[in-house]
Amino acid sequence: MDYSKELSPEVREKMKKNLVYVGIFSSVMLFAGLTSAYIVSMGGGFWLKYPLPNAFYISTICVGLSSLTFIYAIYNAKRNQFNQVKIGLLSTLILGILFIVYQFKGFNYLTESGIHPAKNYIMVSDGRYGDYFEIKYKGDYIQVNGNDYLVKNKKLSNSEFDALKKYTAEFLSIKQNDTLTTKADQNFELLLRNQKLIIKNAHFYINDSTAMDFVDEIRLKQMAENIRDERGDFFARGKYGKDFIIYFKGVALDYKDRTLMYDNKKLKPYLQIKAAEAADTASSYLYILIALHVLHIAITLLYLIRVIIGSFSNKYNKDNSIPLVTGGIFWHFLGFLWLYLLLFLIFIH
Residue 195 has pLDDT above 50, yes or no: yes
CB 93 within 8 A of CB 309: no
DSSP 168-232: HHGGGG--TTS-------TTEEEEETTEEPEEETTEEESSSS-BPPHHHHHHHHHHHHHHHTT-S
Domains of the chain, residue spans:
7-120+280-347, 133-233
Of 212, 140, 206, which is closest to residue 180 (Cα–Cα)? 212
**Banded pLDDT at 7 (limits 50, 70, 90):** low
280-305 pLDDT, tens digit each: 999 999 999 999 999 999 999 999 99
Please list, in sequence order, all residues whose beta carbon lies within 8 angstroms of the beta carbon of residue 15, skipping any fewer than 6 positions away: 4, 7
Query: CB count, 10 Å around CB of 244?
Result: 22
End-to-end CA distance of the chain: 53
As separate numbers, helices (DSSP H) first and strands (DSSP E) second, the chain gives 8, 14
Burial class of residue 138, CB neighbours in 10 A (0-12, 13-18, 19+): exposed
Mean pLDDT on 221-248:
94
What's the CA gap between 337 and 349, in Å, rounded? 16
What's the CA gap between 339 and 70, in Å, rounded? 17
What's the CA gap between 196 and 302, in Å, rounded? 63
Of 4, 11, 12, 24, which is closest to residue 300 (Cα–Cα)? 24
Q: Which of 4-8, 19-23, 197-201 has the highest mean pLDDT?
A: 19-23
What's the CA gap between 169 and 220, in Å, rounded? 11
Q: What is the pLDDT of residue 106?
A: 97
In Å, what is the CA distance from 107 to each residue of 6, 54, 162, 217?
49, 11, 26, 34
Predicted TM-score (pTM) of the model is 0.87
Q: What is the pLDDT of residue 89?
A: 96
DSSP 81-117: -HHHHHHHHHHHHHHHHHHHHHHHHHHHHHHHTT--S
CATH superfamily of 7-120+280-347: Cytochrome c oxidase, subunit III, four-helix bundle (1.20.120.80)
CB 100 within 8 A of CB 298: yes
Q: What is the pLDDT of residue 9?
A: 65
Please list, in sequence order, all residues whose beta carbon lies within 8 angstroms of the beta carbon of residue 60, skipping any fewer than 6 positions away: 338, 339, 342
305-328 pLDDT, tens digit each: 999 999 999 988 888 888 899 999
